[in-house]
Amino acid sequence: DAKTTQPTSMDCAEGRAANLPCNHSTISGNEYVYWYRQIHSQGPQYIIHGLKNNETNEMASLIITEDRKSSTLILPHATLRDTAVYYCIVRVDYNFNKFYFGSGTKLNVKP
Amino acid sequence: DAGVTQSPTHLIKTRGQQVTLRCSPKSGHDTVSWYQQALGQGPQFIFQYYEEEERQRGNFPDRFSGHQFPNYSSELNVNALLLGDSALYLCASSDSSGANVLTFGAGSRLTVL
């Protein structure tokens, strides 16, 4: 199973871009990178996913390096409500949606 | 459109007891997965149900069992509870024919005394 490595915590000023890195050096060619976040006492919330191309949606952008060994989640204008634990996940089994969650990055957005 | 609903939200049991947790998937979803999240850790995959059968299982003992009903709802059963089973139990549903995005419920917080 491809594992991910993320910093334990990060700080970001409100209104600035938050850039959350993730290392997945053992990723296989057909494994997707997913990002979820978990606000305190809630279930994880899907943010974005991608295979090799950069992706953008209404919540965030996902930048995947050309060798696919790392990626960065970008929240363009962080707000206090973006304070959460962010999980970078590699989907280990295409057919069965078995996701391996690591410990994630606690993002603290400060006023 | 209701998302994933779980019940109960909180419960307290004692060691050796049995517990049943329930999950109703998001409308249109046919696959249900269960995760255990200990305090301060990420969710850990328990198992997944599709077409009323267990399709994939994580590294959990047989004390953990489940069921999926014809309406796609699911139950998680844990027998012979241990103190270490105290955790947030998350249910996630997905569509077997889509982008495979998981939609999570808010979880059931189990405390074993």
Residue B99 sits at the chain A interface (C-beta within 8 Å): yes
- Does B33 sit within 8 Å of A42, measured CB to CB? no
Judge whether residue A26 has pLDDT over 80: yes
DSSP notation for B37-104: E-TTS--EEEEEEETTEEEEE-S--TTEEEEE-TTS-EEEEE-S--GGG-EEEEEEEE-TTSS---EE
- Point out the residue among B48, B103, B107 whose CB comes nearest to the CB of A98: B48
pLDDT at A40: 86
Contact A39, A95 (CB under 8 A): no
pLDDT at B47: 94
pLDDT at B83: 97
pLDDT at A45: 96
Tens digits of residue pLDDT in B61-88: 999 999 999 999 999 999 999 999 999 9
Measured at the CA of B109, the angle between CA B56 and CA B85, to 5 degrees, comes to 60
pLDDT at B10: 96
Which of A84, A101, A89, A100 is closest to A18 using CA atoms?
Answer: A84
Between positions 5 and 64 of B, the ones with CB within 8 A of A are 31, 33, 35, 41-45, 48, 55-56, 58
